[in-house]
Structure 1
């Protein structure tokens, strides 16, 4: 079958949505299922999740390498097929330690797929990469909204049903990939020897952005993990905490299309976009430090969410703009790897600080981490602007 020269944006967005829904069936249950059903300690669960993120990083690396030097289409098929196998295995083998092994395999597969999705996004010719990344980020979060909402209704039917539905979504995605991702991309293996190397200059040019996304995810995970225990210690219920994430999703669904509408302006001022995103992240933790009321958590979450809308898609756009398109797989895999590293280190960082100090020290140190990220990004960006 003859391959197209570019991927249609609607199929890329559908792929992002379906994958996000599938993963959203699993990740909210991981810690609870391992602790409450499989009777593993919270420490063991945290270690498994950390290993899962390391596996995702390896998947990012492998996916980027294969995308550039083998075949993007078959690399994507490989990642999604592995995901089907891993999630399908959970239907039959969801005890201990098979559960830990299979979700780690699923993390590796998702790492391959996520890198390919980002890399394919740089090859959509009818829209600029920044627009595509904004749109895919919207679909990613829409999938999270749908997945986390639906899982609450199907979980009472049994954990096997949850895994079965997740597998069905990935089978749908596999068909979409097989039918609509069959495109021909001029990858690094088709380029001359100079283009197929990894120029050190490009890696240093995007280093500031990679440090920023690592630090941003390291502190963002505090909201996903340790803030829940902090709120419970303050007398709030788990449902009060979960409402914050419902609010997070609503803000993203409302404002992400607005951001996408002004894509050309934001792309023209891309560095400012990333700086504002980091400043909003800092502002959310500053607000947490002085907050004593429930409404204050919503204000802090709103500030954080506006920051992530600007920052996370903006990082991918920055990397795409600063690196050669024939090496999109390699460089977009760096974004995914630094993201996974932040997710892996975040819970450990938070747990250590809380155990040795307290939650307010954690919030303060998160501010310090973000200021360091802000400084690194701008110092490196200034260096390259002066020496280009």
Structure 2
């Protein structure tokens, strides 16, 4: 049995560290720019959009370099870029330096995110589906840790936030430098040996992959409504910000509790991968149908619960589905496309939602999200039937 290029614990720990570090910074962007730097919400929105664009560029660059160059220096460059940006933010976080460094941080973080997913495709001791499931768990656990700690550290000063993030990126860089060295050799060995035939073939089932990535893209457009416009809707209904924050406590608790349970049934879920994706996106779709009737807090809790279950079922399975159908020489490229689809959905989601709300209403937005996810999921389902008929 071929050895893994790195020990799985280092890959999982790296995912946990980088997501914790980044979650110290990104949730504060709008608040910090508006309340501390006295820039308008429009300016903050533009900065976040540019940041998302550079994250997408980082996603693509990380995948391209992983395939056409070397994985080891690629991920080190990504971590180094994020580390330097966070370090400079400790001392220079005024306007416009803050915005520029945040955008550079997005570039580095985009490279790292794609590299981590791409490294998962080189693991041989466990099924890729298992690795992607655990990576999804560690990334969300990191976001939970970071978001919780920020609330206690921010009153001490914004410099402390950037210092902790910088420290975490330093730890990740040192860990990757010492433990990720086998990546290049492993990729070369696998290319020469086990998957030589696959290396000379093109990626299979490009249409299903494209339709699944489009479904992921629209799912993230919908998901972003929970992180942006739904908070305003709850305030409009007379609820407070504290209740809105409780929704994300529900989200975090479900991910921490349910994700390991699903990982336990990884073999069964891998055998029914398409069914897992269908069910996950169906839950996603249903969560917005619930919101149409939401007037009390309990309905929002129900909607968030259904959304999170759909997220846990579907999102890690996307990387697995794409990995199984991508040729070895294009593993990095296609994992980059997964992260790009998610990043693009996050980038345009708040704007699309705001335009629909301003032109129509919140219920119309919820119907739009539900219908959009349903349509693209059905397209993806149809691609499975076409394959079966061949």
TM-score of the aligned structures, taking structure 2 as reference length:
0.94
Verify: 1:165 aligned to 2:168, yes or no.
no
Q: Does 1:8 align with 2:10?
A: no
Report the alpha carbon displacement of residue 37 of structure 1 after superposing the two structures with TM: 1.0
SS at match of 1:39: coil
* Structure 1 match to 2:312: 309
Give the Å deviation of 1:124: 1.3
Q: Contact 1:207–1:380 (CA<8 Å) still a contact in 2?
A: no
* Structure 2 partner of 1:263: 266
For residues 155-188 of structure 1, the C-alpha deviation after alignment (integer angstroms, 9 at most, x for no partner) is 1111011001000000000011001111123359
Q: 2:211 aligns with which of 208, 212, 227?
A: 208
Distance 1:188 1:297, change over 3 A: farther
Unpaired runs of 5+ residues, structure 1, are none
Aligned twin of 1:149: 148
What residue in structure 2 maps to residue 237 of structure 1?
A: 240
Query: Does residue 185 in structure 1 map to residue 186 in structure 2?
Result: yes
Give yes or no for the alignment of 1:217 onto 2:216. no
**2:385 counterpart of 1:386:** no
Secondary structure of the 1:95 match is coil
Rounded to whole Å, the distance in 1 between the matches of 2:214 and 2:157 is 41
Distance 1:107 1:365, change over 3 A: same
Kindly state the Cα deviation for residue 373 of structure 1 after the two structures are TM-superposed. Answer: 1.7
Aligned to 1:228: 231
1:374 match: secondary structure: helix
> 2:71 matched to 1:68?
no
| C-alpha RMSD of the superposition | 1.9
* Residue in 1 that maps onto 2:92: 93
Structure 1 stretches of 4+ with a deviation exceeding 4 A read 187-198
In the TM superposition, what whole-angstrom CA distance separates every residue of 1:19-76 from its partner, at most 9, and x where no partner exists?
1100110111011111111111111111111111111110011000100111101101
**Secondary structure of 2:376 counterpart:** helix
Tell me the equivalent position of 1:337: 340
CA distance in 2, matches of 1:22, 1:379: 40
2:203–2:325: 8 Å Cα contact kept in structure 1? no
Q: Report how many residues are paired.
A: 384
Q: Look up the match of 1:355.
A: 358
- Using the alignment, how far apart are the partners of 1:360 and 1:274 within structure 2? 26
What TM-score do you get using the length of structure 1 for normalisation?
Answer: 0.95
1:6, distance to aligned residue in structure 2 (A): 1.9
CA-to-aligned-CA distance 1:207-258 (integer Å, 9 cap, x gap): 1210111011010000010011111111111111011001100010000000
| Map 1:288-307 → 2, pairs under 5 A | 288-307=291-310
User: Quick one: distance in 1 between partners of 2:200 and 2:50?
Assistant: 30
Contact 1:188 / 1:326 at 8 angstroms: preserved in 2? no
